[in-house]
């Protein structure tokens, strides 16, 4: 007998017993089925008949249950109780399925909730944990309409938003200035005491303290200062934070250091963290803090991390998980036909900080991405390699979009960046010219969009210098002539507190250079608090940034701490983001925002005013699937005895994919955290759990439509349907389930 079935013999705890009793008391019919069934199979059949009987007069619910997307019905139109019925039926249809649980380093997980109930009722075993029973109690309350879905007024949503100040709030600006002064005084002391010896950042001996501070305030405006004085150890982190970190946190950080997890927090970003917490901003900096301070789970898992993105594992000459053949091990990543990511061999392989739930932690683990800024400078073979990489883009039939990232695209020096942009320009020109010799239906896609993936406008707004801006501006001017139409800085704001006057200024410069700035938000526990993302979207719009994606945290157990369940993301999009929804005519207007980047603030404001909305809900809430691409189209088909949900995802059918998806099974994700654990964590950070209870009911997701602004510009040429650089193996494709 496999180990997994041994678990069925485990006695349930007293707390589980109590919760089971509540469940049975509230649902006499369920109790009758459980007590009257001689074995688990009878229990499964009994529950199935009962639930089918419940929805027998609900054709939409039955249709959705049986045919889902193909039914053309949106789950949003179904009764709340029908959604519960569908989940129970899905649990039954998938009873006994085993999954490789990558949260548990590949152990097997099984979903069989009705069996666990039957074992609990009749034998007191099954080993199901209290979180499992909590989830089941809410499921049956939803089924019996004892819990209904709440709708929130605009006033309520405003009240939630107003809980979170932004970094532009004058009171916060003052606090940040205090922090800046504290950090600078520590640095001045260290220079005076000879602890820091730097050829650039030093003082004449005779200078007084006031003068030194004045000079240091000028240094603060330079990105090189922040990179030079970035904190690289727990002790320094604590010292810069006025020794405000508690001993438990320090213990974790020391362990992180021992494990080899890099530390890199620059003084500017550190100044966004509160040391003195004011009454009006309690908990306001948490989303930032949780990005800087590592969790116990990350430390335990570091060293055992596996790449979430299967398609990022590359062997040149062999197809990756999405079927694409790529030119080098590390420099090009590709999921979709139209776009590939370029990771240069430059300082761009570092970042302005290390986000604790970084999607590329695996690359930090294996040392490919790091913070050895001097060693990352490009060597003499890079220009040649860059040309070779450009040939890949030039000779690909579908690629029209390059996303330069890293690490972080703007960590590259201006010179390196100019070299990369110049290579792209020459490649795009050649690609266009070559097309003139191709027949009408055999033309290759020409380059239409350039994106720079960077968190430096947030981590280090000082990096957005006049020189950088003029490089970007002149690139845009000449690239426009050869038909490139979209110029995008793709950044990553986590919190409204990150939007400071320095950031506002940096974004203004980028916009004035004719580049639009879009945001990819990561929906961590702290940033998933009611109203947090609403406020972030509003303040981003204020400074001219467009929300692009709200991503579920990727990864396995290492990101347990920051992970907010997909149910919460769906809840946020349906209950909160709605206040930024646009009418069809305004959606059309957003099309032109990218082409008029210089006036984006005025254009956003006129749409907001016309629609009377606080922000444009231009982002889609999605998960980046470990396979090919983004989606939030899922159904909860199972639950483990720990109460962690099993989700079955379908690919986003609204965009083009590698043809490999025809062969792929649906993607299974086992979440690392139960809904109860998530709610308890929210409570620990000061939230009222009652405000979130609906979250249990969101067991179905649908990927939102993409805004026209994010579509590629229409092409004057018809592009060949033939794919190059693609090899689809003739096998049934694996998913995480196999």
Instruction: Give the residue, chosen from 161, 256, 354, 682, that forms a contact with ligand SF4 under the rule CB under 6 A.
Output: 354
Considering beta carbons, is residue 130 or 555 the nearer one to ligand SF4?
555
Contact in structure between 58 and 603 (CB atoms under 8 Å): no
CA separation for the pair 419, 430 (Å, rounded): 17
Closest separation in Å from C-beta 32 to ligand SF4: 52
Closest separation in Å from C-beta 166 to ligand SF4: 21
Closest separation in Å from C-beta 455 to ligand SF4: 4
CA separation for the pair 491, 626 (Å, rounded): 22
Site for ligand SF4 in 422-481 (CB under 6 A): 455
User: Measuring CA to CA, which residue among 51, 134, 297, 104 is closest to residue 639?
Assistant: 134
Q: Where are the beta strands (DSSP E) in 57-165?
A: 97-101, 107-111
Q: Name beta bridge partners: 623.
A: 631
Peptide bond into 654 cis (omega under 30): no
343 binds ligand SF4 (CB under 6 A): no
Stretch that binds ligand SF4, among 353-361, 370-378, 381-389, 555-563 (CB under 6 A): 353-361
Site track for ligand SF4 across 400-429, x = CB under 6 A = -------xx---------------------
Stretch that binds ligand SF4, among 172-180, 205-213, 242-250, 358-366 (CB under 6 A): 358-366
360 binds ligand SF4 (CB under 6 A): yes
Closest separation in Å from C-beta 564 to ligand SF4: 16
With CB under 6 A as the rule, give the number of residues binding ligand SF4: 10
351 binds ligand SF4 (CB under 6 A): yes
User: Measuring CA to CA, which residue among 189, 296, 367 is closest to residue 562?
Assistant: 296
Site for ligand SF4 in 134-173 (CB under 6 A): none
Considering beta carbons, is residue 165 or 262 the nearer one to ligand SF4?
262
Considering beta carbons, is residue 358 or 427 the nearer one to ligand SF4?
358
Backbone angles phi, psi at 551, to 5 degrees: -95, 135
Q: Name beta bridge partners: 111.
A: 97
* DSSP conformation letters of 340-367: EEE--SSGGGS-SB--TT-TTHHHHHTT
Q: Name beta bridge partners: 550.
A: 521, 621
Closest separation in Å from C-beta 503 to ligand SF4: 15
Instruction: Give the residue, chosen from 355, 390, 427, 594, that forms a contact with ligand SF4 under the rule CB under 6 A.
Output: 355
Q: Is the dihedral of CA 644, 650, 656, 657 positive or negative?
A: positive
Instruction: Give the residue, chosen from 117, 230, 358, 546, that forms a contact with ligand SF4 under the rule CB under 6 A.
Output: 358
Considering beta carbons, is residue 34 or 354 the nearer one to ligand SF4?
354
CA separation for the pair 217, 222 (Å, rounded): 10
Contact in structure between 656 and 590 (CB atoms under 8 Å): no
* DSSP conformation letters of 410-438: GGS-HHHHHHHHHHHHHHHHHHHHHHTTS
Stretch that binds ligand SF4, among 58-66, 325-333, 357-365, 556-564 (CB under 6 A): 357-365
Residue 329, Cβ density class (10 Å: 0-12 exposed, 13-18 middle, ≥19 buried): exposed
Considering beta carbons, is residue 555 or 565 the nearer one to ligand SF4?
555
Stretch that binds ligand SF4, among 77-85, 240-248, 349-357, 416-424 (CB under 6 A): 349-357
Stretch that binds ligand SF4, among 50-58, 278-286, 355-363, 428-436 (CB under 6 A): 355-363
Stretch that binds ligand SF4, among 356-364, 478-486, 634-642, 721-729 (CB under 6 A): 356-364
Contact in structure between 496 and 481 (CB atoms under 8 Å): no
- Residues of this chain that interact with ligand SF4 (CB under 6 A) are 351, 354-355, 358-360, 407-408, 455, 492
């Amino acid at each position: 007998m496999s180990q997994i079935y041994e678990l069925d013999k485990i006695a349930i705890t007293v707390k589980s017993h109590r919760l089971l009793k509540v469940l049975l008391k509230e649902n006499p019919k369920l109790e009758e089925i459980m007590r009257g069934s001689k074995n688990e199979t009878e229990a499964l059949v009994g529950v199935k008949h009962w639930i089918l009987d419940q929805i027998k007069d609900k054709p939409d619910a039955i249709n959705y249950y049986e045919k889902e997307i193909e039914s053309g019905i949106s789950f949003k139109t179904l009764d709340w109780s029908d959604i519960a019925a569908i989940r129970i039926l899905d649990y039954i249809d998938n009873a006994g399925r085993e999954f490789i649980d990558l949260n548990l380093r590949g152990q097997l997980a099984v979903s069989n909730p009705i069996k666990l109930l039957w074992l609990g009722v009749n034998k007191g075993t099954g080993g199901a944990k209290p979180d499992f029973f909590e989830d089941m109690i809410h499921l049956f309350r939803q089924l019996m309409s004892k819990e209904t879905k709440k709708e929130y007024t605009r006033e309520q949503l405003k009240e939630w938003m107003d809980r979170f100040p932004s970094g532009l709030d004058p009171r916060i600006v003052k606090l940040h200035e205090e922090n800046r002064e504290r950090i600078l005084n520590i640095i001045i002391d260290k220079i005076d005491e000879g602890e820091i010896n730097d050829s650039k950042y030093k003082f004449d001996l005779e200078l007084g303290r006031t003068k030194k501070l004045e000079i240091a305030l000028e240094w603060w405006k330079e990105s090189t200062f922040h990179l030079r004085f970035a904190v690289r150890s727990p002790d320094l982190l604590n010292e810069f934070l006025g020794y405000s970190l508690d001993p438990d946190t320090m213990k974790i950080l020391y362990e992180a250091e021992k494990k080899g997890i890099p530390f890199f927090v620059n003084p500017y970003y550190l100044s966004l963290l509160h040391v003195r917490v004011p009454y009006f901003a309690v908990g306001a900096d948490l989303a930032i803090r949780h990005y800087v301070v590592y969790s116990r789970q990350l430390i335990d898992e570091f060293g055992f991390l596996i790449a979430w993105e299967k398609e990022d594992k590359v062997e040149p000459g062999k197809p990756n998980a999405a079927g694409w053949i790529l030119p080098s091990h590390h420099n090009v990543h590709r999921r979709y036909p139209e776009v590939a990511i370029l990771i240069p061999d430059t300082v761009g392989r570092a970042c302005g900080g290390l986000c604790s739930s970084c999607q590329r932690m695996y690359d930090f683990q294996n040392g490919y991405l790091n913070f050895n800024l001097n060693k990352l400078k490009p060597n003499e073979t890079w220009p040649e390699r860059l040309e070779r990489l450009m040939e890949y883009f030039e000779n690909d039939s579908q690629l029209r979009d390059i996303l330069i990232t890293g690490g972080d695209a703007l960590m590259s020096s201006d010179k390196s960046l100019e070299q990369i942009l110049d290579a792209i320009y020459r490649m795009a020109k050649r690609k266009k010219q070559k097309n003139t010799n191709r027949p009408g239906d055999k033309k290759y896609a020409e380059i239409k969009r350039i994106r720079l993936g960077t968190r430096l406008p947030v981590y280090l707004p000082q990096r957005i210098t006049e020189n950088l801006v003029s490089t970007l501006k002149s690139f845009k001017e000449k690239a426009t002539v050869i038909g490139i139409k979209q110029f995008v800085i793709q950044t990553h704001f986590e919190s409204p507190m990150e939007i400071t006057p320095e950031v506002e200024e940096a974004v203004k410069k980028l916009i004035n250079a004719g580049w639009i700035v879009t945001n990819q938000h990561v929906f961590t526990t702290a940033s998933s608090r009611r109203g947090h993302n609403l406020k972030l979207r509003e303040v981003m719009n204020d400074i001219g940034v467009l929300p692009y994606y709200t991503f579920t945290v990727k990864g396995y157990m290492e990101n347990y701490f920051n992970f907010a369940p997909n149910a919460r993301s769906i809840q946020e999009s349906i209950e909160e983001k709605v206040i930024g929804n646009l009418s069809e005519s305004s959606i059309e207007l957003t099309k032109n925002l990218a082409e008029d980047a210089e006036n984006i603030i005025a254009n956003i404001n006129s749409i907001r005013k016309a629609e009377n909305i606080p922000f444009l809900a231009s982002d889609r809430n999605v998960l980046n699937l470990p396979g090919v691409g983004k989606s939030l189209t899922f159904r909860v088909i199972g639950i483990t005895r720990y109460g962690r949900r099993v989700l079955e995802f379908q690919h986003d059918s609204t965009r083009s994919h590698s043809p490999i998806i025809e062969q792929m099974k649906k993607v299974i994700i086992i979440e690392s955290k139960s809904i109860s654990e998530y709610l308890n964590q929210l409570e620990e950070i000061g939230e009222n759990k009652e405000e979130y209870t609906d979250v249990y009911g969101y067991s179905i997701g649908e990927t939102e439509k993409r805004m026209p602004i994010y579509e590629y510009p229409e092409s004057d040429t018809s592009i060949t349907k033939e794919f190059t650089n693609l090899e689809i193996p003739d096998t049934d494709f694996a998913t995480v389930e196999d």
